[in-house]
Amino acid sequence: MRKYILEIAIGVVPVTLVFLAFLGVNIVPVLLIAFLAAGFAFAYKGRGKMTAMQGARKKSELTSSPLSFEQIGGQERAKTELIEALDFLVRHEEIKKLGIRPMKGILLTGPPGTGKTLMAKAAAHYTDSIYLAASGSEFVEMYVGVGAGRIRDLFKEARQKAKKADKSSAVIFIDEIDVIGGKRDGGQHREYDQTLNQLLTEMDGIHSDESPRILLIAATNRKEMLDSALLRPGRFDRHIGVELPDKKGRLHILKLHAANKPLNPEVDLERIASESFGFSGAQLESVMNEGAIYAMRDNSELIHEQHLASAIDKVMMGEKTDREATKEERERVALHELGHAIAAELVRPGSVSQVALSPRGQALGYVRHNPQQDKYLYTKDFLDGQIIIALGGAAAEEMFYGGRSTGSRGDFDQAMNIVRTLVESGLTELGIIDANMMTPDSWAKVNRSILDELMAKTKLMLEEKRQVFVEALDVVIREETIGGDDFRALLGKLSKTA
């Protein structure tokens, strides 16, 4: 019926307008009003140029290449938990006999670059499903109702594509869902709330006995901002943490990204994995890519370990800069970095990976540390040692110049963050307290108390190595970059002669 009405309107409306114009009636206002009405109707239904339906079509075409869980490095626990949840969709008939309801939604949470999007793609491949992807920002517009319309279009598109491809299921992935799924403030007229309400309605309408079945996978690194109605069972049934990989996971990721690169056989990827503590999967991929770029700059046919070491520095701190320091500044920077390095070797022997004077990012010099093993629990002694290492640069400057420079600003920020961790963990003389109840004056007092005590201890430790500073200064300035093993050999040699 609608088809015939539309055809009649297409034939009648132009003839009527021509007839009115023939009679001398000004039809321009009529055309303007009709154009505006059509535009608002077009926007309200969410079928403009940037609708979710069109966006999803483009994305599904671009991401059609299959991706398996074996191609995702690390995250073994997260992958196991996700596969278990997906089995509810794959083994539908089997679990139906036990009365188990399939998952409606899976929420992936964790830091950026840990592989949440990759895991959603692998989930679609594992379940042999149609895959559609969208970002939370695509549903937000200044026009009320546009986001809700795009949500409807996205779910409708998923069902249509699954039927067209003769698939029994479809996976919808929404990245950065906190953009539309944030906590509501009680109002019902905000565009964000309209979009969230529509998403909740669509998730409630996902019936496990319908075909094709829809599984919604969403990702965020700010889970605490999501609305409780979105997090409850029956909507997002599983919350899977996708955290930063451990050493074993980092090694797996490095091997995956090294598969298509000509590595020197002597490259020790396990050592690179150790030195890249705290790196995400995306950063590790960048390390391998930047290592290849450094090899190309050197006209080398193979990627050597020094190329990967430089790549780690670049990913951590940025590219080398062209800033030229004066002789006095270079000496101060050298002593500052020697302070960090010597303090690190005294507190935690074997932890220094590299001492460098080359400007990189915002730093005029830096010391890269190599943790012996991944740590997730810290004692007071360990954290005190970290503060001593952070204060080593400023302590060295005071020893030789009688004062500090602005180069210690970042070190002090790091030290105060560790003090905050000590306080919030109940590891200070304040005991177990609520850190939120502390005033700025209280924080200033505890910072001054802890940092002054550890600064005095740091100076005392480094003063015993004064001659080592003097002897090592020329070597560091001349070499500019010293590896951890070479630095420890130099330190041992100078300590014997001092």
DSSP string, 279-327: --HHHHHHHHHHHHHHHHHTT-SSB-HHHHHHHHHHHHH-SB------H
Please say which residue of 282, 317, 352 terminates a domain.
317
Catalytically active residues, by annotation: 337
Taking alpha carbons only, the member of 166, 173, 175 closest to residue 214 is 173
Pair 193, 276 in one domain:
no
Pair 112, 236 in one domain:
yes
Q: What is the CATH number of the domain that holds 226?
A: 3.40.50.300
pLDDT at 64: 46
Q: Are 430 and 419 in contact (CB under 8 A)?
A: no
246 falls within a domain:
no
Q: What is the CATH number of the domain that holds 476?
A: 1.20.58.760
Pair 302, 428 in one domain:
no
Token digits for 285? 């991929």
Question: What mean pLDDT do residues 416-443 have?
Answer: 89
Q: Is pLDDT above 60 for 323?
A: yes
Pair 169, 258 in one domain:
no
pLDDT, tens digit, 9 for 90 and up, residues 247-270? 888 999 999 999 899 998 998 898
Give how many domains the chain has, as a whole number.
4
Pair 123, 195 in one domain:
yes
Q: What is the CATH number of the domain that holds 309?
A: 1.10.8.60
Pair 361, 383 in one domain:
yes
Please say which residue of 182, 212, 241 terminates a domain.
241
pLDDT at 49: 36
Pair 356, 435 in one domain:
yes
Residue 298: domain span = 251-317
Pair 337, 419 in one domain:
yes
Please say which residue of 199, 220, 241 terminates a domain.
241
Q: Are 108 and 217 in contact (CB under 8 A)?
A: yes
pLDDT, tens digit, 9 for 90 and up, residues 419-431? 999 999 999 888 8
pLDDT, tens digit, 9 for 90 and up, residues 98-121? 777 777 889 999 888 888 888 888
Question: What mean pLDDT do residues 157-183 have?
Answer: 87
pLDDT, tens digit, 9 for 90 and up, residues 132-156? 888 887 776 655 567 788 888 888 8
Pair 88, 232 in one domain:
yes
Question: What mean pLDDT do residues 40-63 have?
Answer: 44
448 falls within a domain:
yes
The tokens 């370990």 sit on which residue? 305
Q: Is pLDDT above 70 for 189?
A: no
20 falls within a domain:
yes
pLDDT at 353: 81
